[in-house]
Amino acid sequence: MIETQTAIPDPATDCGDCSESALAESAARELYQTAALFVGDESEAMQLVEQTVASVEMDPCADGDAARAAASRDLVQRALARVAALRPAQMHPSAAADLGGCVETDELSAAGITRVQLEGLISGTGRTRMRQWLEGLGPAERSVFVLRAVLGRSGAESEHLLQQATGDSWTEAHVGGAYRAALCSLASALVHSAAH
């Protein structure tokens, strides 16, 4: 369970009759889930969430969507920077493998999965399987998959975020190659899983 009461302001005491406590808890859970998808380690993910909440102005009585978006941006940057610091060689653009031939496009559907099915794998009954599959990906493929498939970032946005995090010259071609490699791996895992 994520402990958020010390990190996120309590709306009941901070803004009178504003009752946004559930929204703050929900935002913290979303941040934690995103961080865990990037780094794969619960305590590391929790640290990233705490750092984000401490650095982003999160007024529970203000525009909740704007606060969520700001926190999400900050968390993504922190998570990518953390992965790049831990495994710099594997987060270099040259590590972004394009397996070619397995999937032809940068679309989630190329892996034979819909967004609804992906959401079920991430937060539903397929969580364990998805976690195991993510652990088998290299850091570049994993990061690009989370950016593109889970967070819905474009190739250009992902390129920019990866350049910021690593300081390396990522291109949309590198991002596309890493994403297709991840989709190919996912397609293979789904076929293997369906056969059992």
Of 8 and 112, more confident: 112
Residue 141 corresponds to which tokens in the numbers above?
């493929």
CA nearest neighbour of 101 among 190, 177, 195: 177
Q: What does the pLDDT read at residue 80?
A: 97
Q: E strands, the chain, where?
A: none
The tokens 């998959």 sit on which residue? 145
Q: How confident is the model at residue 9 (pLDDT cuts 50, 70, 90)?
A: very low
The number of C-alpha atoms within 13 Å of 115 and in the hemisphere containing its C-beta is: 6
CA nearest neighbour of 25 among 16, 17, 33: 33
What distance in Å separates the CA atoms of residue 136 and residue 159, rounded to the nearest whole number? Answer: 22
Residue 161 corresponds to which tokens in the numbers above?
């975020």
Average pLDDT rounded to a whole number, residues 43-65: 82
Q: What does the pLDDT read at residue 21?
A: 66
Q: What does the pLDDT read at residue 7?
A: 41
Q: What does the pLDDT read at residue 13?
A: 41
Say yes or no to pLDDT of 62 above 70. Answer: no
The tokens 């032809």 sit on which residue? 104
Say yes or no to pLDDT of 195 above 60. Answer: no
